[in-house]
Amino acid sequence: MAGPGGWRDKEVTDLGHLPDPTGIFSLDKTIGLGTYGRIYLGLHEKTGAFTAVKVMNARKGPTVTEWHSFGALLSFFILQDEEEDLRTELNLLKKYSFHKNIVSFYGAFFKMSPPGQRHQLWMVMELCAAGSVTDVVRMTRNQSLKEDWIAYICREILQVNFHIIILP
């Protein structure tokens, strides 16, 4: 599933220029909670493929004069000290998501909402239906992980690290 219009080639600097997800992706049920918002089961409208969509609701709505300023816009979603973390996450996902051990990132979207409702930032990613390594650890909290599972997980993590650090 390709991202919208060359988003992989650009740094995320201006939320106001992100595409609207309407007609591209739709949301179904909540499947988790993230650092910045809820994670929904998403649907790619054209292909019917399921995705995971992180949705961040604005804490307040921007005024017309604030609309075109990235710093001002981002401040409606997160606190200033979290801004760099979010921007880094978006840009790292765009750069490395083609690796088999990193979740595929399909794009970031900005959903304008009607007056009285909060605007939303959507981060659309591959749905990992089996869960994460963290989920495996939580499910086996009172048990030891088998050595072959630990070896497999460590090998996969090392492959990603090699890809990111050694092969930039």
Residue set of the binding site: 54
Q: Which among 102, 81, 95 has a CA at the least distance from the CA of 35?
A: 81
For residue 89, how many other CB atoms are within 10 A of its CB? 17
Q: Which DSSP symbol is given to 146? A: P
Which residues participate in the annotated binding site for ATP? 54
In this structure, are residues 59 and 39 in contact, taking their beta carbons and an 8 Å threshold? no
50, with CB counted inside 10 A (0-12, 13-18, 19+), is middle
Q: Which DSSP symbol is given to 123? A: E
Query: What gap in Å lies between CA 87 and CA 73, rounded to an integer?
Result: 13
